[in-house]
Structure 1
């Protein structure tokens, strides 16, 4: 038996494969350590939550996914509906938009972070 760890679209699968030879009477077992991949997963508890000096308006993830773009900088003025970040979820790009007009006070996620639904990604005033 050989064990493999396969990652497909961010999902990790552990697979065991039996190796056989042409001679059915002599099955061979092979065992080798398989390094376990690490997946950076940012849960709502792991992302620093805004402190008292952070903005009053929270910009939250509407779906779980991977941050593939940060479209704003701290101090930048935005209008309601402007893109703040871009998430990739199920091979689609999902814009996370400003809920109202304001100024970006903090950005709590970085490009490449995996985030859960409802996580605060940025704050604004």
Structure 2
């Protein structure tokens, strides 16, 4: 049986054979090597999602971590006085049924945590202040 399969917007024609079972009147032959069939179509590499990082925060200071989108705070990973490094997850937001890790763009210590678990936030809301 021939089928057309679409992968990442590209169409590929594939042939599917039934292996084993079926009528005894069919001649049986060993299946072809799977690796040959896979080589015909490019294999998409898995995409590792990058944490959402705010690009600009007009109402926040340089050490503020702000929400890049509206959502609900699922978890706050730091508390006042904690040391944070660049790229460290400080808050986890849920937006459109997806969890997004919000990271610090600066190293320092947490001066203030402005949200708590369950809070609804808008875009550019200050979540954590780092000094």
Comparing both structures, which one devotes a greater share of its residues to strand?
1
Structure 1 match to 2:88: 82
Matched length: 73
Aligned residue among 83, 104, 121 for 1:98 = 104
Runs of 4+ in 1 over 3 A off after TM superposition: none
Structure 1 match to 2:126: 120
The 1-side partners of 2:68 and 2:105 are apart by 12
- Higher RCO (CA 8 Å, separation ≥ 6 residues): 1
Structure 1 match to 2:117: 111
Counterparts of residues 1-125 of structure 1 (less than 5 Å)? 57-125=63-131
Q: Structure 1 unaligned runs (5+)?
A: 1-48
The 2-side partners of 1:76 and 1:121 are apart by 15
Comparing both structures, which one devotes a greater share of its residues to helix?
2
TM-score scaled by length of structure 2? 0.52
The 1-side partners of 2:79 and 2:116 are apart by 12
Of structures 1 and 2, the larger Rg is shown by: 2
Q: Structure 2 unaligned runs (5+)?
A: 1-58
Q: The residue matched to 1:81 in structure 2 has which SS?
A: coil
The 1-side partners of 2:81 and 2:62 are apart by 14
Q: The residue matched to 2:111 in structure 1 has which SS?
A: strand
Instruction: Quote the offset at 1:56 in angstroms.
Output: 5.6
Instruction: Quote the offset at 1:103 in angstroms.
Output: 0.6
